[in-house]
Structure 1
Amino acid sequence: MQKNWINAILAVAIIGIIFGWVRHADARSGQEALQLLNTVKPYMMNEQQIAFKYTGYYGTCDGSDLNILHTGQKLSQAFNIPQADQLSESNSHAVYSARTEIAPGAVATLTVASPAGSNGCYTVLKLDASEQADQYELMNWQEQAGDQLKKLGIEGQWNVMVQSYVNEQEQVLSGKNSANDLAHAVAQAFKGTIVESYSDSKTISLSLASDAFQTSIQSGNQTVNMQLALHQDSTTGKWRLTAGTPIITMEY
């Protein structure tokens, strides 16, 4: 049940970003990313995992492997990512994937595919970084990538996420009520209003409306600017905290 719920959240999140329930200009995207990282950092242990992701469509692939390859190579050049010579396979579909380390502890990945029922080239530009990566290098990469995305006419929005175990001071959590208190404390730190929530024995998820962020999606009648989740590891018993704007699209 829990796994099905997490998968459902991921599916809805990905659909929301692809089809753009709400689109906002990303002029403040760098500031929002820094605000997300700096606000949640006191609640997390070291070894944070940070992800920047931009999703959209570019050109026409029309299900052609050759078009996917040529589009991927063109975009690789645009984003200074070494070109791949051939396609790989994911879930029985041809996919272009190329990656490069843009700074110590930070790897940029470009993925291009042609989804069934769509003529467009589905494009994902992602940066995965560790706690050791320099935050300002990450912001600089995001700004430069954003400028290039605009030049190419790839419409979409940034999705920024950070994940780590709850820090040692907060690790006194002994049950769901304490975890729930922590989740609400983090929500308060973001000056957010809780508009949607879910909880079970090991997971708490809160969706927030917050004036601190312009980036948003529309979920039903609610505007969501960011999402928080706490999940208890079944082996260690530790709680893992994930925060994302406008929503979380990684497994938590």
Structure 2
Amino acid sequence: MQKNWVRAIMLFSLIGLIFGWVRHADARNGQEALHLLNTVKPYMMSQQQITFKYTGYYGTCAGSDQNILEAGKKLSQAFEIPQEDKLGESNSHSVYTAKTEGAPGAVVTLTVASPEGPNGCYVVLRMDASEQAEQSDLLNWQEQAGNQLAKLGIQGQWNVMAQGYVNEQSWQNSADELVHAIAQAFKGKIVESYSDSKTISLSLASGEFQTSVKSGSQTVNLQLALHQESTTGKWRLTAGTPIITMEY
């Protein structure tokens, strides 16, 4: 039941990024990413995974495999990612995927697809980094990628996330008190929440971030989640702006 709820929230969030709840973010992208990473860092033993993800549309694919492949190759060249000659498949849909090392300890992945309905080529450009990666390298990559996305006319949204185990020395009380303390550190107002025996999730409206999505009538700038692993008993903290789109 719990896993189903988490997956539902992730799907709900992802659909929001793809189909129009997004609000345009300006040149503050780098500042917002830095603020997210630096604010959650004291609460984690380590930032085991950091993800920068940009989603948007590019040109017209209209469900054509050839168009998807051509768009993928062109974008691979633009972002200096080795080109792939064949499409893969995901959920019975053709998908172009290409990868490269973007920085030490970080992998850049380009995905191009043509979802049912829209004619545009759906594009995801993401960097997944381990704790060994230098934060400055990640921010530099985001800036350079952002400049290239603008040149290509790809309108979309940055989604930045950090995940790691909680530093137990940073809190003495309950998990609920911890996640609320982190919300206060972001100067966030809680607009949505969920909790069960092993998971606490908060959606925040925060003036610290301009990037946002709409969830019903609420504006969400940031999501926080604490999840206790069944096997180890450790609490895993995930933070994402404007939302979390990874499993937590």
Partner residue of 2:85?
85
| CA deviation profile, 1:169-194 (whole Å, cap 9, x unmatched) | 14766xxxx11011101101111111
The alignment's TM-score, normalised by the length of structure 2, stands at 0.97
Amino acid at match of 1:164: G
> Take 1:234 and 1:186, find their aligned partners in 2: how far apart are those partners?
23
Partner residue of 2:24?
24
Structure 1 pair 171–84 and aligned structure 2 pair: CA distance change class (3 A): farther
> Take 2:170 and 2:229, find their aligned partners in 1: how far apart are those partners?
15
Q: Show structure 1 runs of 4+ deviating over 3 A.
A: 170-173
Partner residue of 1:158?
158
CA contact (8 A) 2:42 2:170 kept: no
Secondary structure, counterpart of 1:157 in structure 2: strand
Secondary structure, counterpart of 1:249 in structure 2: coil
> Take 2:235 and 2:113, find their aligned partners in 1: how far apart are those partners?
35
Say how many residue pairs are matched.
Answer: 248
> Take 1:220 and 1:251, find their aligned partners in 2: how far apart are those partners?
22
**Displacement after TM superposition at 1:20 (Å):** 2.8
What stretches of structure 1 of length at least 5 have no aligned partner?
A: none
**Displacement after TM superposition at 1:218 (Å):** 1.2
1:1-252 alignment runs, 5 A limit: 1-170=1-170, 178-252=174-248
CA contact (8 A) 1:217 1:224 kept: yes
> Take 1:124 and 1:245, find their aligned partners in 2: how far apart are those partners?
16
> Take 1:48 and 1:26, find their aligned partners in 2: how far apart are those partners?
28
**Displacement after TM superposition at 1:24 (Å):** 2.3
Farther-moved stretch of structure 1 (30-39 vs 83-92): 83-92
| CA deviation profile, 1:32-73 (whole Å, cap 9, x unmatched) | 000000000000012520000001111111111111111000
**Displacement after TM superposition at 1:26 (Å):** 2.8
Amino acid at match of 1:87: L
Amino acid at match of 1:71: A
Structure 1 pair 240–26 and aligned structure 2 pair: CA distance change class (3 A): same
Farther-moved stretch of structure 1 (62-71 vs 30-39): 62-71
> Take 1:211 and 1:172, find their aligned partners in 2: how far apart are those partners?
28
**Displacement after TM superposition at 1:228 (Å):** 0.1
| CA deviation profile, 1:181-235 (whole Å, cap 9, x unmatched) | 1110110111111111000111100011111111011111111110000001011
**Displacement after TM superposition at 1:7 (Å):** 1.1
Q: What CA RMSD, in Å, does the superposition of the two structures yield over aligned residues?
A: 1.2
> Take 1:195 and 1:145, find their aligned partners in 2: how far apart are those partners?
32
| CA deviation profile, 1:125-151 (whole Å, cap 9, x unmatched) | 000011111111111110111111111
**Displacement after TM superposition at 1:118 (Å):** 2.2
**Percentage of matched positions with identical amino acids:** 77
> Take 1:115 and 1:251, find their aligned partners in 2: how far apart are those partners?
22
The alignment's TM-score, normalised by the length of structure 1, stands at 0.95
> Take 1:216 and 1:196, find their aligned partners in 2: how far apart are those partners?
14
